[in-house]
Amino acid sequence: MEEPTGWPRYRYRRHGLLRWRGPRGRGPLRRRQSDRLAGGVAAGLASRLGFDVNVMRIAFVVATVFTGGTFAVGYVLAWLLVPADGADGNLAGRALTDARGLAVAAGIGSLSFFAWIIVSVLNAGWLSNLVWPLGLCVAGIVLIWRNAPADEQAAMRQLAEPVLSVTGGEGRSRIVLRVLLAAVLLLGGLAVLLSGHSASALLRPLGGVALVIAAIVVGFGPWWLRIARDLVVERQARARAEERADMAARLHDSVLQTLALIQRRADDPQRVVQLARAQERELRSWLFEGRAPGSLDVMTLADGVGVIQQEVEAQYGIAVEAVTVGDCELDDDLGALLAAAREATVNAAKWSGADVVSLFAEVEPAAVSLFVRDRGRGFDPETVPGDRKGLAESVHGRMARRGGSATVRSVRGEGTEVSLTMPRTTGPRTAGERQPSRT
Amino acid sequence: MSTPHGSPRVFLVDDHGLFRSGVRFELGGQVEVVGEADDVEPAIAGIAESLPDVVLLDVHLPGGGGQAVVTAIKAAHPQVRFLALSASDAPEDVIAVIRAGARGYVTKTISGAELVDAVRRVAAGDAVFSPRLAGFVLDAFSAIPAAGGGGPSFDPELDQLTPREREVLRLIARGYTYREIARELFISVKTVESHVSSVLRKLQLSTRHQLTRWAAERRLT
């Protein structure tokens, strides 16, 4: 499982130079999710053909420059049409059923069509060659964004973050930056116009252009406006749904877990009262003081792993063998990683029937990995009923929302292992900055 | 040294009488317990007299660390092998016992069957790593400077783990048994054993000052 992603790095170390070709891969072309930069097309193609992924990326960029952007359209198409590894079906299939997404894409398409008309009216030939690939790419990316699974969206968000932080922020310096950018673009546009025509002859086509633009705006404006409004409404709905999912995960981890425990300890009234009281305290502190239930009040990852060990040992009476290699400070992402690990450990303690659960955390420069393993009865992940939130929401969802990943490997009669990986972000960032739509 | 029917002869050293009788019970009829002691001095005398195959040794003893026992016996009776066994310890104590010559370290959460298995392995000359020891070792060797950057005394043969050894240690830390590791990595159990023994050798022979200083530094970070 770790081998395919691991070997290029070892090769780097051993030879100290870039390795051009490795063994060819087998099987159909898939977008590789493991070392993706954007869609994972280059990574997938590289591993299929046996090239180094960086060679492939450089080839893509060169091709894009030489084809004047046409190649980028091909890339976006491949993103839509080639299925991700491990996924069944491509994004295009899902995009076809997404009526609103298609409307937005058509809107953007029509915008770029009109832009193309205007530009060709102005005789700026090279610019018109650039407009249509740009329009198609943006339309394609919109479709991808709307139909991609959560982890792919997280990867895209990370990629777009530097751009968005320049244009989307509210701070004074950002406004200045934005105005400067607009001024540069405006000057560039005027320069293009002037280069095609002498200054005196400029006025006439410009007037025509203004008329055409006015016509377009009158004709299509309401439609574009409606699309934009729909988008805003939908984004709010999505934010609400996400908040709901977060709340459900938290309630599951605290209240539902405690209720399950109480049912098991029904013959021990004192323990039941104790559990109920502890849960009441936790719930109150969440509802009225804003402290998240199950949130770990610790500073470093190793401390967090220790707390999970103690809590699960105390609550469920099984041994947790915890091993941590390396350590680092906690941030929001790693907090989510710990919360997912806690949930996986609790699950193992409750359902596996094993009397030891192994918990192994390793801090590496680029990522933190955490493994929860038991040698219990195991289960079939496919047959877990949908209302069992534990795995789907508390582990998978939690990791995906933060850009991490979770895999579960379970064999009936042999046990279960949950592997969690969270990439480490450099420098402290707050959740509010990353997800402006959520408050 | 072994008894004719092949069950190893074991000596117990632990300051808790209750724990000693517990271990004795868990080992059942599968090994021959030839003696026990509750402190450093009686342990040295008892082991020298009974010459067992394997000594199950508590890391902490009232009269000094477990490594005092290992050092004293190793000089006179190099054929006696040690397996450290304890509840929870600071990494520096565990590493000290291993560097003194113990061939493994297991925690007291280990099940009876696994303990018997571990004793057999040590008796056969193999190394036994618990998940915790594997974690300690990964940690100790991960503070490694790039090859050649470890000062004049840096010996890549001894002061660095190979990628494969690292993989094996990671799987041990994740709670895999040797057999499961062998299946996971598509190698034989014998190969897993030889990787672990080679790690043990590096742990005992490496003169990397980081290894000895590591435990102390670890507390600061």
Highest mean pLDDT among A91-105, A126-140, B74-88: B74-88
A316 interfacial to chain B (CB closer than 8 Å): no
- Best mutation target among A13, A303, A325 (most B Cβ atoms within 10 Å) is A325
Lowest-confidence pick of A424-433, B50-59, B90-99: A424-433
Report whether pLDDT(B7) > 60.
yes
| Range with lowest mean pLDDT among A206-210, A341-345, A372-376, B192-196 | A206-210
* Candidate from B109, B139, B175 with C-beta closest to A373: B175
Report the gap between the CA of B15 and the closest CA in chain A (Å): 23
Name the CATH superfamily housing domain B1-125: Response regulator (3.40.50.2300)
- In this prediction, residue A152 carries a pLDDT of 77
- Residues A332 and A374: beta-carbon distance below 8 Å: no
Task: Give the residues across from A69 on adjacent strands.
Answer: none
Contact B142 A325 (CB under 8 A): yes
Chain A partners within 8 Å of B174 (Cβ): 358, 360, 371, 373, 417
Among the ranges given (A277-291, A381-395, B15-29), the one the predictor scored with the smallest mean pLDDT: A381-395
Q: Which of A335-339, B137-141, B171-175, B188-192 has the lowest mean pLDDT?
A: B137-141
Q: Do A324 and B135 touch (CB under 8 A)?
A: yes
Residues present in chain B in total: 221
Tell which B residues from 30 to 89 touch A, by Cβ distance under 8 Å: none
Q: With bands split at pLDDT 50, 70 and 90, how would you rate the model's confidence at A13?
A: very low
**What does the pLDDT average to over A14-24?**
51
- Say how far apart CA B116 and CA B113 lie, in whole Å: 5
First to last CA, chain A: 38
**B141 is written with which tokens?**
């060797």
pLDDT higher than threshold 80 for residue A116:
no
Give the whole-number percent of chain A exceeding pLDDT 90: 5
Q: What percent of chain B has pLDDT over 70?
A: 83
- Across residues B18-41, what is the average pLDDT? 85
Write down the mean pLDDT value for chain B: 81
Least confident range from A114-128, A248-262, A407-421: namely A114-128
Q: Which residues contact B64 (CB under 8 A, 6 or more apart)?
A: B40
Region A266-281: mean pLDDT is 75
Assess whether pLDDT exceeds 50 at residue A52: yes
Query: How many CB atoms sit inside 10 A of residue A439's CB?
Result: 7
Contact A101, A95 (CB under 8 A): yes
Find all residues with CB under 8 Å of A154, minimum gap 6, and list them: A400, A401, A402, A403
The pLDDT of residue A11: 43
| Residue A266 phi, psi (nearest 5) | -55, -25
* CB contact (8 A) between residue B131 and residue A323: yes
* Residue range A121-174, pLDDT digits in tens: 666 556 667 777 888 888 888 888 888 877 777 777 777 776 666 555 556 677
Sorted by sequence, the CB contacts under 8 Å of residue B145 that are 6+ apart come out as: B154
Contact: B139, A371; criterion CB under 8 Å: no
The pLDDT score that the predictor gives to residue A6 is: 39
Given strand A356-363, what is the order of strands in its sheet? A319-325, A356-363, A367-374, A415-423, A405-411
**Residues of chain A found within 8 Å of residue B111, distances taken between Cβ atoms:** 355-356
Among the partner residues B138, B142, B175, nearest to A358 by beta-carbon distance = B175
pLDDT of residue A414 exceeding 90: no
Read off the pLDDT of each residue in A82-87 and give the average, rounded to a whole number: 77
ipTM confidence: 0.77
Q: A103 with A227: CB under 8 angstroms? A: yes
Mean pLDDT of chain A, nearest integer: 75
Chain pair A-B, CB pairs under 8 angstroms = 47
Above 50 in pLDDT, residue A9? no
Q: Which of A329, A360, A372 to mutate to test the interface with B (most CBs of B within 10 A)?
A: A360
Confidence label for A369 from pLDDT (cuts 50, 70 and 90): very high
Interface contact A35, partner B, CB < 8 A = no
Beta-carbon separation of B132 and A321 below 8 A: yes
Cβ atoms within 10 A of the Cβ of A331, count? Answer: 19
Contact B131 A321 (CB under 8 A): yes
pLDDT of residue B207: 66
> For position A372, what pLDDT does the model report?
93
**Contact residues, chain B, for A319 at CB < 8 Å:** 109
Is residue B13 a contact partner of residue B57, using CB atoms and an 8 Å limit? yes
The mean pLDDT of A97-122, rounded to a whole number, is 77
- How far apart, in whole angstroms, are the C-alpha atoms of residue A164 and residue A436? 10
Mean pLDDT lowest among A275-289, A388-402, B204-218: B204-218
Contact A321 B175 (CB under 8 A): yes
- pLDDT for res A122: 65
pLDDT at A221: 78
CATH class, range B128-221: mainly alpha
Cross-strand partners of A325: A362
Stretch among A245-254, A303-312, B94-103, B185-194 having the lowest mean pLDDT: A245-254
- At residue A331 the predicted structure's pLDDT band, cuts being 50, 70 and 90, is confident
What lies within 8 Å, CB to CB, of B157 at 6+ separation is none
A373 touches chain B (CB under 8 A): yes
List every span in chain B annotated with CATH 1.10.10.10: 128-221
If one compares A125 and A184, the residue with the highest pLDDT of the two is: A184
d(CA B100, CA B113): 27
Q: Residue B217's CB: how many other CB atoms inside 10 A?
A: 10
Q: Which two tokens stand for residue A68?
A: 């004047």
Domains of chain A: 296-434 (3.30.565.10)
Joined together, the tokens standing for residue B6 give 């092949």
The Cα A139–Cα A231 span in angstroms is 14
With CB atoms and an 8 Å threshold, state whether A326 touches B109. no
Quote the pLDDT of residue B173: 92
The tokens describing B16, both together, are: 């808790």
The pLDDT > 70 percentage for chain A reads 76
Helix (H) or strand (E) holding B107: strand B104-107
In chain B, residues under CATH classification 3.40.50.2300 are 1-125
Angle between helices A70-81 and A41-49 (to 10 degrees): 80
State the pTM of this model.
0.53
B146 band by pLDDT with thresholds 50, 70 and 90: very low
Task: Give the single-character DSSP code of A395.
Answer: I
Per-residue pLDDT at A103: 82
Contacts of B174 (CB under 8 A, 6+ apart): A358, A360, A371, A373, A417, B131
Identify from B130, B174, B177, B187 which residue to disrupt to test chain A contact, counting A C-beta atoms within 10 A and taking the largest count.
B174
Beta carbons within 10 angstroms of residue B188's beta carbon: 12
Q: Give the list of residues 6+ apart from residue A45 with CB closer than 8 angstroms, or none.
A: A29, A51, A56
Q: Which pLDDT score is estimated for A153?
A: 77
